[in-house]
Structure 1
Amino acid sequence: MTSTTLVLRGVGVSPGRRAGVVARMPDPLPAPSTEPLPPGTDLAAAADRIGAAASVVHDALLAAASTARGEGAAVLAVTAEMAADPTLVDEARRRVVEQASTPQRAVWDAAAVVVDQLLALGGLFAERARDVDDVRDRVVATLTGAPMPGVPDPGEPFVLVARDLAPADTARLDPDLVLALVTEGGGPTSHTAILARALGIPAVVAVAGAGTLRDGDTVLVDGALGSVTPDPDEDAVARAGRTVRRAARLGAPGATADGMPVALLANVADPAGAAAAAAAGAEGVGLLRTEFRFLGRTVAPGVDEQVDAYRQVLAAFPGRKVVVRTLDAGADKPLPFVTAPDEPNPALGVRGLRTAWDHPQVLDDQLAAIARAAAVEDADVWVMAPMVATAEEARDFVERCAAHGLAQAGVMVEVPSAALRARDLLVHARFASIGTNDLTQYAMAADRELARLARLSTSWQPAVLDLVAATCAGGALRGRPVGVCGEAAADPALAPVLVGLGVSSLSMTPRALPDVAAVLATVTADRCRELADAALAADGAEAARDTVRAMLPVLEDLGL
C-alpha cells in the first residue's frame, strides 16, 4: 500500500536514502529571568564569572576541534575563537556591573546586541549570527548548570530534525548514529550542508513543514531528491535498506565508461584529512586549504612552522598531485593580521589574494614555505590563489610563485569575471580550479545560509553551469586544464555534467569518491556532453537536475 502522507520538500544537499525514527534537537534554552541581582551582591565577582564561563566553552570547543577532522575541525576552531572574542564578554560584564543583571541574563542580552549588528551587516557577517547564539547558549548553560546544548542521544540510530543546526553541532555528528539530517533552515552550500556531505550523512535543508515532525515519527529521507516522507510504506523502507553498498575506498583511477580519464581528487584541510584522503584512495589533492595553520591566531605562523605542516600533507601523496591553495582569509574566515574588522560586506571585501595587497609578506612567507616543503617531498605540488578576478592579478600571482621556484601556479575561479575572462587569466595561469560554492553565491546574488534563497544557491542553476562552460572554453583555448573543487564535484548526478562541460578533474570530500566514480564508470564521454547540453537547455535548477537524473537511471540503482 502506498502512503498518502504529504511528502515534505526541501533542498537535497547530501545524497543517499535512509529511513529511521526522528529525534529532534532540543528546544533552545529559555531566556533567563530579567530579575536583577539582589542588593549587596559583589557585582565585580559576578561579572568575573562570565569570563570564566566563556573560557570553559572556548576550551571545550578547542578540545573538540583537536579530535575532529578537516572542515569540522576548522568550524569548531572558529566557534571557539568566537567564545573568546572580548566583544560579547565585555558587553555582558558591563551589564552586570552597571545594571546589576545576572551573569546569564547579561550574556543573553549582550549576545542579542551582537546578533543584531551581524544581521544588519548582512552577507557572511549574518551567517555568523547562528554561531553567536550557539556560544551564548553554551555560556549560559555553563553559568546556570543547565545541560549543554547539543545533539540528542536516543540510544539508537536516528534521523536528526532541527530548526537549524549550529556548525559546531554539525561538526560533531556521528555518521554511525545519525542516519540522516533534516533542517528547516540552511542552504546547499551552508556549513551544515558541507559538513553533512563530508560525513556522508544524507541531508535535506530548507524543509518547509519540518517543524511538524515529532520524536518517534518514522521518516524516509532522500538527500538527492530533497524529500522527506513521514510514515513511509514498507516497500519504500525496504528499498532504502537495499541501497547498494560501495567500497569506502576508490579502487581505480576515475574514468568514463569509454576510458576518458577524470582525475578524482580530495579536498583536504589538515594533515589528518590528508591521511584519510590517501586511505580513501584519492588520486591526489585538488584543494589543500591552508587556513588550518592560520585560524585562531593573532599573528601569522612562521615559515618553519608552515613547512612542517605542509610536509605532513605532501608526504601522504608521493608522486601524486597536491594543489595547495594560498591563504583564503576574509569573509567567514577573518584573521586579525590580514583582514579589517569593520568591512560593511566582507563577502565583497578584501579576502583571498586581495589580502596580499596590504600584507604581501604573509603571502611571500607562505609561498616560501610551500616551495621548501615541495623540495623535500615527492608530491607533485601545484599552487593556486583564491578570489582572483582579473588577468592582471593572475599574472602577478604567477610571477610571484615563479620567484619562489613554483612553476605550476594557477587560479581559483570563484567570481563571474574570472569565468567570463578565463581565456585571459589562463594566458598566465597554468590551470584553473572552479570553486562552485562562491561562484554560485556571486552569480546568483544569494546568501548561502538563507533558507529562503536555498533554491537559488545551487550549482544546478543553468547560469552557474554557463560560467563553468565559459571557464572550460577558456582553458581549452589556452591548452590549460580546468578542475572543480567546490561542493558540486561531490554530487554524483552533477559530476558527469561537469565532465561534459570540459572539466578534467573533480575534487571532493573523500567520502564522495566511490559514488562519483561509480556513476562516471557507467557513462561515456559523449553521454556526459549530452547530459551537459540537457542541463544547459533547462530553464531552471530543478528542471536541470530532474532532466539529468531521468537520463541517469543508474542513480536510482545506486541509491543516489
Structure 2
Amino acid sequence: MSILRGVGIGQGIATGPVVRMAPALPEPAHETSTRGADAERVRAREAMTAVAADLQQRADAAGGAAQDVLEAQAMIAEDPTLTDEVDARIDEGATAEWAVHDAFAGFRATLEAVGGYLGERAADLDDIAQRVLARLQGVAAPGVPDPGHPFVLVARDLAPADTALLKLDQVLALVTSDGGPTSHTAILAREKGIVAVVGAADAAALTDGTTVIVDAAAGTVNDSPTSEELTAAAERIASRAAEDATPAGPGALADGTPISLLANLGKPADAADAVARGAEGVGLFRTEFLFLGASQAPTIEQQRAAYVELLSAFEGRKVVVRLLDAGADKPLAFLNDAHEENPALGLRGLRALRASEDILREQLTALAEADAATSADLWVMAPMVTTVEETAYFTSLAKEYGLKTAGVMVEVPASALLADRVLAHADFASIGTNDLTQYTMAADRLLGSVAGFQDPWHPAVLRLVREVGDAGARLGKPVGICGEAAADPLLAVVLVGLGATSLSMAPSALSDVRRSISQHTLEDARRIAASVLLADDAAGARAAAVDAAQH
C-alpha cells in the first residue's frame, strides 16, 4: 500500500480510477515565417481574440469566484501591450506560434518581477499561451480530459479556466502535485464542493486507470486500497450523502453553544444555492460585482435593485454587506487611477472610498433604501479598516444614513491589536483571514512565489484572531470570520475556540463545517485552540489541532 500526503480541501472522500491531465503543448520551433508578417499578424490576432471570447464565455457560465478569475484571463488575452509584443516578434520574421510563445514568456517574467496582483496574473499566462498556441495549431487545448466515465483527475495543477467548468458528475476528486490551501484550485474546489487533495508532491507517480481513495479529511491519496478500505470508503460516502440530504439545522457546538453558519456571496443570484445548503444568513456579500468592469460607478437605483434582490432572499435573517473593496487586486479607474508601486499597501478599501466619498455615500444611500424596503437584518461593514479613527468615521457615517448595525473588517494587524478600541465604536468585527494572513506574514496572497507563507493556520495569524475574539467577548460584540479559513472544518473549530461567534464561507463548505463543530464543545474548541497557539509554524499548528481534536 502506498499513501500520498497533501493538503485536503474539506472533509470529503471519493474513490475511482485515475485519469491524468494531458501534457502541455511543446515549445514551438524558432523559425522564420514563410507566410509573411501580415498573414502571421492576422493569425495571431484571430487566435488571441478567439481565446479571449472563449474565456469570457466560460466566465459567464461559471459565476462565483471563478468568474472574476476567468474575466481577468480574458482581458490578458487581448492586452494591447501583449499584442504589441507579439507583433514586434512577427515583424522580425517569426511565426505567429513563436511570437506568441516568446511574447507571453517575456510578459510573464515582467509581471512576476512586479509582483502583487500582476504577479498572480503571470501564473495564468502559461494557460492562456497554451490556448492560443492550440488555436494556431488547430489542435485541442490541453485541459481536463473526458474519458466518458467518472474519474479522479490528477494534474500538476489546474488552470482557473479548467477548474471553473469541471463536470461535477464526472470528476470524483482532484489530486494535484502543486498548490496549497489558498491556491486557485483549492479555492474553486472548495466553492464547488469537490473532494480534493492539493500539494501531494508524489502525485506525478500515479498512473492512468489506478483505483485510488482520495480522503480530503486525512489529506491522503491511497493508490493501493484493499477491498476492506474501499468498502469503508463507500460507507463514508453514503453516510455523508445521507447527512447532506437531511435538512440542516442551526450551527451549534456539541454542548449547544450557537455558532451562526453564514454564506459568502458575490452576487444576488447566488442566494438560492446558499439557502438550499442551509446558510443561516450572509456573513459577507461582496458588492464589487456592481463596480468591476464599469467605466463609472453604478447609480443608486442600480445598486438598490441588487441589494433588494439579495435582502429579499433572506427575510428575517442577518445579511452582512461589505462596502466596495476596490484597489490592490481590484483596481477601478473611476475610484483611484493613480499608479502605485505596491497597491496592496496603497489606497484600497475604506481608504479609497474615503478619498471618493461621493461613491461611499451613494452606496450607503442605496443600502439604506434597500433596507427600508425589505425585512432582512442588514449589517454593513467597511473593508480594510486600519485605525480607530477610521472606525469612528465609518460607523458614524453609516448611522447618519439610518443603518443600525455598522462594523468593520479586521484585515490588518493594527486593527486586530487595537480590537478593543475598534470595537468600542463598531457594532461588530468581521475578520478577513485572507488579507490578515497576507499582512501578518508580509506575503502577497496573490503571488505564487510566496504562497507557502499564505497559510491562516500560522500561529501569528491566529494570535491576532484571539486578540479580536477576546475584545469581542469583553465588550459583548459579535466577531465573525469571513475568510477562506472559516471553510476549513478543523480550523473552524479553532476559530470558535479563539472567540469567533459566527463563521462565513462558500455555501458548499457549510455541511462539513456544521458537522465538524457539532463534534466539539466550547471547552474542547478552546483547548484545541490553545494547543495550536503553542506551535511554531502553520504545519505544527495544524498537527497540534489534529492531535488535540482526537483526545
TM-score by length of 1: 0.91
Which residue of 203, 211, 215 corresponds with 1:218?
211
Task: Tell whether 2:76 aligns with 1:76.
Answer: no
Aligned pair count reads: 547
Instruction: Give the residue type in structure 1 aligned to 2:346.
Output: G
User: For residues 249 and 297 of structure 1, what CA distance do their matches in structure 2 show?
Assistant: 42
Which residue number corresponds to residue 537 of structure 1? 534
Contact 1:9 1:227 in 2 (8 A): yes
Instruction: Give the residue type in structure 2 aligned to 1:202.
Output: V
Which residue number corresponds to residue 333 of structure 2? 336
Which residue number corresponds to residue 292 of structure 2? 295
Task: Tell whether 2:277 aligns with 1:283.
Answer: no
User: For residues 121 and 405 of structure 1, what CA distance do their matches in structure 2 show?
Assistant: 43
User: For residues 385 and 108 of structure 1, what CA distance do their matches in structure 2 show?
Assistant: 43
Which residue of 106, 109, 113 corresponds with 1:116?
109
User: For residues 423 and 357 of structure 2, what CA distance do their matches in structure 1 show?
Assistant: 23
Aligned ranges 1:91-102 → 2 under 5 Å: 91-96=85-90, 98-102=91-95
User: For residues 250 and 82 of structure 1, what CA distance do their matches in structure 2 show?
Assistant: 43
Which residue number corresponds to residue 56 of structure 1? 50
User: For residues 336 and 495 of structure 2, what CA distance do their matches in structure 1 show?
Assistant: 34
User: For residues 386 and 8 of structure 2, what CA distance do their matches in structure 1 show?
Assistant: 30
443-452 vs 307-316, which moves further: 443-452
User: For residues 194 and 175 of structure 2, what CA distance do their matches in structure 1 show?
Assistant: 10
Contact 2:324 2:353 in 1 (8 A): no
Which residue number corresponds to residue 19 of structure 2? 23
Q: SS of the residue aligned with 1:382?
A: strand
Which residue of 176, 180, 203 corresponds with 2:169?
176
Which residue number corresponds to residue 558 of structure 1? none
Q: 1:216 to 1:433 in 2, by over 3 A?
A: same
Q: SS of the residue aligned with 1:529?
A: helix
Which residue number corresponds to residue 263 of structure 2? 266
Contact 2:117 2:447 in 1 (8 A): no
Once the 2 structures are TM-superposed, how far is the Cα of residue 287 of structure 1 from its aligned partner? 0.6
Task: Tell whether 2:306 aligns with 1:309.
Answer: yes
Task: Tell whether 2:99 aligns with 1:106.
Answer: yes
Contact 2:163 2:189 in 1 (8 A): yes
Contact 2:385 2:408 in 1 (8 A): yes
178-187 vs 497-506, which moves further: 178-187
Which residue number corresponds to residue 322 of structure 1? 319
Once the 2 structures are TM-superposed, how far is the Cα of residue 143 of structure 1 from its aligned partner? 2.7
Task: Tell whether 2:82 aligns with 1:88.
Answer: yes
Deviations 1:246-284 (A, max 9, x none): 225652111122222111101111122112101212110
Once the 2 structures are TM-superposed, how far is the Cα of residue 316 of structure 1 from its aligned partner? 1.0
502-511 vs 107-116, which moves further: 107-116
Q: SS of the residue aligned with 1:257?
A: coil
Instruction: Give the residue type in structure 2 aligned to 1:392.
Output: E
Q: Quote the sequence identity (%).
A: 52
Aligned ranges 1:381-460 → 2 under 5 Å: 381-448=378-445, 456-460=453-457
Instruction: Give the residue type in structure 2 aligned to 1:74.
Output: D
User: For residues 184 and 454 of structure 2, what CA distance do their matches in structure 1 show?
Assistant: 13
Task: Tell whether 2:127 aligns with 1:138.
Answer: no
Which residue number corresponds to residue 125 of structure 1? 118
Deviations 1:193-244 (A, max 9, x none): 1111111112222222222223223333222333233223333332222212
227-236 vs 165-174, which moves further: 227-236
User: For residues 147 and 450 of structure 2, what CA distance do their matches in structure 1 show?
Assistant: 33
Instruction: Give the residue type in structure 1 aligned to 2:228.
Output: D
TM-score by length of 2: 0.93
Once the 2 structures are TM-superposed, how far is the Cα of residue 10 of structure 1 from its aligned partner? 2.4
Instruction: Give the residue type in structure 2 aligned to 1:166.
Output: A
Once the 2 structures are TM-superposed, how far is the Cα of residue 115 of structure 1 from its aligned partner? 0.6
User: For residues 516 and 198 of structure 1, what CA distance do their matches in structure 2 show?
Assistant: 13
Task: Tell whether 2:7 aligns with 1:11.
Answer: yes
Once the 2 structures are TM-superposed, how far is the Cα of residue 25 of structure 1 from its aligned partner? 1.7
Deviations 1:277-330 (A, max 9, x none): 012121100011112222233333232222222222212111111111122223
495-504 vs 182-191, which moves further: 182-191
User: For residues 283 and 396 of structure 1, what CA distance do their matches in structure 2 show?
Assistant: 30
Once the 2 structures are TM-superposed, how far is the Cα of residue 454 of structure 1 from its aligned partner? 5.4
Q: SS of the residue aligned with 1:203?
A: strand
Instruction: Give the residue type in structure 2 aligned to 1:137.
Output: Q
User: For residues 13 and 336 of structure 1, what CA distance do their matches in structure 2 show?
Assistant: 36
Q: SS of the residue aligned with 2:200?
A: coil
Contact 1:164 1:183 in 2 (8 A): yes
Deviations 1:135-193 (A, max 9, x none): 22222222332212321112122222222221222121233222222222222112221
Task: Tell whether 2:179 aligns with 1:186.
Answer: yes
Contact 1:264 1:283 in 2 (8 A): yes
Which residue number corresponds to residue 164 of structure 1? 157
Q: 1:330 to 1:14 in 2, by over 3 A?
A: farther
User: For residues 216 and 337 of structure 2, what CA distance do their matches in structure 1 show?
Assistant: 38
Which residue number corresponds to residue 557 of structure 1? none
Instruction: Give the residue type in structure 1 aligned to 2:125.
Output: V
Which residue number corresponds to residue 200 of structure 2? 207
45-54 vs 98-107, which moves further: 45-54
259-268 vs 539-548, which moves further: 539-548
Q: SS of the residue aligned with 2:149?
A: coil
User: For residues 19 and 298 of structure 1, what CA distance do their matches in structure 2 show?
Assistant: 48
Deviations 1:378-400 (A, max 9, x none): 21111112211111221222233
User: For residues 180 and 446 of structure 1, what CA distance do their matches in structure 2 show?
Assistant: 29
Instruction: Give the residue type in structure 1 aligned to 2:186.
Output: A
Contact 1:249 1:514 in 2 (8 A): no
Q: 1:127 to 1:249 in 2, by over 3 A?
A: farther
User: For residues 410 and 135 of structure 2, what CA distance do their matches in structure 1 show?
Assistant: 44
Instruction: Give the residue type in structure 1 aligned to 2:51.
Output: V
User: For residues 113 and 129 of structure 2, what CA distance do their matches in structure 1 show?
Assistant: 19
User: For residues 450 and 233 of structure 2, what CA distance do their matches in structure 1 show?
Assistant: 29
261-270 vs 532-541, which moves further: 532-541
Once the 2 structures are TM-superposed, how far is the Cα of residue 507 of structure 1 from its aligned partner? 0.5
User: For residues 247 and 351 of structure 2, what CA distance do their matches in structure 1 show?
Assistant: 37
Q: 1:47 to 1:349 in 2, by over 3 A?
A: same
User: For residues 427 and 134 of structure 1, what CA distance do their matches in structure 2 show?
Assistant: 48
Which residue of 359, 362, 366 corresponds with 1:365?
362
Which residue number corresponds to residue 510 of structure 1? 507
User: For residues 250 and 351 of structure 1, what CA distance do their matches in structure 2 show?
Assistant: 40
Q: 1:278 to 1:491 in 2, by over 3 A?
A: same
User: For residues 199 and 445 of structure 2, what CA distance do their matches in structure 1 show?
Assistant: 11
478-487 vs 234-243, which moves further: 234-243
Contact 2:437 2:455 in 1 (8 A): yes
User: For residues 388 and 309 of structure 1, what CA distance do their matches in structure 2 show?
Assistant: 25
